[in-house]
Amino acid sequence: MATRVRVPALGIDLPVMRQPGSYPACNVAMYLRDLKQPGQGGPTYLYAHARTGMFLPLLTRSQVNNGAGMIGMTVEVYTGDNRKFVYRINEVRRHALDLRAIFARGSESLWLQTSEGPKGTVPKLQVGASLVSSGTASHAVAHPVPRPVACG
């Protein structure tokens, strides 16, 4: 399972966990259970709120030239078995209404999602990335301690 996500160029560095309740928590990213995890040969989908210290930089950058400045940025995802997967952003989808195109993908990929509007609204921002490499990581690096809080 994904345990950490980093987008160094945007200052994003969050623990990843399973969504703890019916509404996404703050201070962590979460994974969509219906899709794959890194290394399983399909799309991985991580999401977090568009808030300071979370995925807000994705939303902010997407609003400039439709996110073209994010193309080529590196995303690192760490997993519970002490692995590091490196992806490169190759797609920015603003105002996405559903996940159909992502579910249809069969290849290893990463998708980061955040909101574009107030609480619970659709559409969403989806940022896609392709796998570049994978390797090992230390346990300490791969296992940050999640400290989720209820968003209000």
Given pLDDT bands bounded at 50, 70 and 90, which one contains residue 102?
confident
Q: What separation in angstroms does the CA of 62 have from each of 58, 125, 139? A: 6, 8, 33
**Cα–Cα distance measured from residue 26 to residue 87, given in angstroms and rounded to the nearest whole number:** 24
What does the pLDDT look like over 68-90, one tens digit per residue?
Answer: 999 999 999 999 999 999 999 99
Tokens of 26: 């703050």
Given pLDDT bands bounded at 50, 70 and 90, which one contains residue 121?
confident
Domain boundaries, the chain: 2-142
Whole-number pLDDT of residue 151: 86
Tokens of 90: 């190759």
Whole-number pLDDT of residue 107: 86
* pTM of the predicted model over 0.85: yes
Tell me what the pLDDT averaged over the chain comes to.
93
Q: CA nearest 7: which of 115, 144, 143, 127?
A: 127
Whole-number pLDDT of residue 98: 81
Q: What CATH architecture is 2-142?
A: Beta Barrel (2.40)
Whole-number pLDDT of residue 54: 98
Query: Given CA atoms 70, 79, 98, 109 in this order, what sign does their dihedral have?
Result: positive
